[in-house]
Homo-oligomer: A and B are copies of this chain.
Amino acid sequence: MGVPQPTTGVAPDAGRQQEQRVNDFAIVVATANGTGSQTSNLTILRALFKMGIPVNGKNIFPSNIQGLPTWYHIRVSKDGYVARRETSEVLVAFNQATVNQDVQELPSGGICLYNDDWRSMPERDDIVMYGIPVNEFLREVGARGKFRDRFTNMIYVGALAQLIGIELEAIEEALNYHFGGRQKIVEPNMEVIQLAYDWAAENLEKRDPFRVERMDETEGLFLITGNEAAALGAIFGGMTLTAWYPITPSTSVVDALTAHLPALRNDEEGNPTYVVVQAEDELAAIGMVVGAGWAGARAMTATSGPGISLMAEFAGLAYFAEIPAVIWDIQRVGPSTGLPTRTSQGDVTFAYHLGHGDTKNILLFPANPKECFEFGGTAFDLAEELQTLVLVLSDLDLGMNNWMTEPFDYPEEPLKRGKVLSADQVDRNWGRYKDVDGTGVGYRTLPGNEHPLSAYFTRGTGHDERAVYSEDPDKWVDNMARILRKFETARQIVPGPVVDEAGAAIGIIAYGTTEPAIEEARDRLAAEGVKTDFMRLRALPINDEVRNFVERHDRTYVVEMNRDGQMHGILQLEMPDIATKLLSLAYLDGMPLAARWIAESLHAMEKEITG
């Protein structure tokens, strides 16, 4: 099927540039890694946000600590679109190593702020160039050593602010936020910014249409990364043990845990009600989680692709011995080490079947920080209720970038600790793996239970209802059938899909962070006369709603960021009789999907089908 490839470099909407473009364009800042430009970029992002303008920032960074090119994309969208734009009209070209390519990728009519000290610059007469004498500034502020880099980055903040109209107060607020109000740091930075701002006012003649203006669209919202939201969710969801091994892009989940836990979860006397262990590798990390889950903790780990591969054996144990465990998989591009700093939805199939033998795991798919927060607790609830492994599949884009979010809802429901018998509830009839209510879930006891009959021996080998070792064929079958029953139970209690439907003939199904791009694509398609309904999955296994949705539509496109259309395949297997109603729109190049690609691909396929 002829899925068009994303084009890079050419602006689809070049041409209609000369009207004013207020709050509706994208900025890209090109710098080198490790120069501290993150601070400047986040400052711009936050300042825009403080001006009430919907924004989204995406950091496209290399797998490196210092020196390689990095790009920060800021989308400014009065309409509230937060998906990635493939083209940015405003370029801050502060990395000489990539300036040629960066300038080339500007759409016609775009603008370029650059360091005027460079000997040569690529030439284009269809864009507007604004040179900034960086060295002069640095001399002026007397910056030396590592401060040179930092101040250089503040220079473009000031100049850009002047050029496109970012308010200095908003910038100061943003800096204050970033440096936790430490004026000693804020002030010198503001000084540089002010200098550049003033200089630009005097020396740069505005020759382009791109401007921002205060709006009122971010009131009550805040900016947060998915990983920090996930950490907060776990903290409010009763996490008691986190065992982990560093790996990009999951590391910041644990960084956020460590940062927030003491204030939020030390008890009155300052004692921790949690423990965070940096393990020696992922096998040990998941081993600790499984050990802790067995002993009654709410235990989790956070990892990414290679870690998921290494956790396969323990995943199977958790599945089969029925031990609550939670893995946050912040997906990056695989197979193998792949692109460690790029985003994907490539672990779906593998995670779903993680572990040899017949295995089916519960997966959750948060799409935004609010869901990261929510699923932080939901994952534990499900793991303990279903006594099994739950994998939360987030991704680098959601996890490491800042997203606008509504305030998180305080979890009203009590923690769902599942079927655990206390000492006074144990009796002779109890059997660890007995299905007493048709859900497939048995009662467990925890180590430390004082009842003399409460002990049982947990194992990854065959066992009967009372957890006694057994190689009996029928017992094996019964046990595995019961475990499968839990999966059916799960269908009813995992978070259901979110639907936006208005009787269109065409459906779209997606999950996770493709949502904003899909919403934008749907608007585009609608404008072109192609109406679509949208269902966003939030978990596997699915419930009947999904099938009904597919049935109701002539065709349903499954949009996802991987090569093989993994969810598409899983859904086809769930409804083989209508499998051909499901069409795959799958693409993975490490960048978050863009609305253009979705709209054009879907449109192209529609044309092929409807002739």
Contact = CB atoms under 8 A, between A and B. Distances in A.
A309 B477 contact: no
B342 A477 contact: no
Contacts of A588: 358, 476-477, 480
A479 B63 CA distance: 19
A333 B357 contact: yes
A409 interface: no
Interface string A560-588: 00111010010011001101101000011
A96 interface: no
A88 interface: no
Contact of A562 (B342, B358, B569, B591): B358
A589 B472 CA distance: 8
Q: Is the interface of A mostly helix, strand, loop or mixed?
A: mixed
- Interface centre among A342, A484, A563, by most B CB within 10 Å? A563
A71 to B, nearest CB: 11
Contact of A309 (B339, B351, B355, B562): B355
A350 B350 CA distance: 7
B589 A473 contact: yes
Contact of A353 (B310, B337, B349): B349
A313 B319 contact: no
Contact of A317 (B315, B336, B340, B589): B336
Given A344-B357, A356-B350, A563-B484, A477 B5 contact: yes
Nearest to A470: B339
A188 interface: no
A8 B356 CA distance: 28
Interface in A215-264: none
Copies assembled = 2
Contacts of A291: none
Interface in A468-520: 471, 473-474, 476-477, 480-481, 484
A32 interface: no
A183 B305 CA distance: 59
Contact of A347 (B339, B356, B462, B582): B356
Contact of A476 (B315, B319, B333, B359): B333
A338 B473 contact: no
A110 interface: no
B308 A335 contact: no
A62 interface: yes
A313 B306 contact: yes
A320 interface: yes
Contact of A62 (B8, B471, B572): B471
A497 B417 CA distance: 50
Nearest to A359: B335
A8, A342, A356, A459: most-surrounded residue (chain B CB, <10 A): A356
Nearest to A462: B339
A563 B358 contact: yes
A107 interface: no
Given A317-B336, A338-B462, 17 more contacts: A5-B474, A8-B473, A305-B357, A306-B313, A309-B355, A316-B336, A335-B357, A336-B460, A337-B460, A338-B461, A339-B471, A342-B471, A347-B356, A476-B590, A480-B563, A481-B563, A572-B576
25 contacts: A6-B473, A309-B312, A310-B312, A312-B350, A320-B335, A321-B336, A334-B356, A334-B358, A335-B359, A336-B355, A336-B357, A336-B460, A339-B476, A341-B471, A346-B357, A346-B358, A349-B353, A350-B353, A350-B355, A358-B562, A358-B564, A473-B589, A576-B576, A576-B579, A576-B582
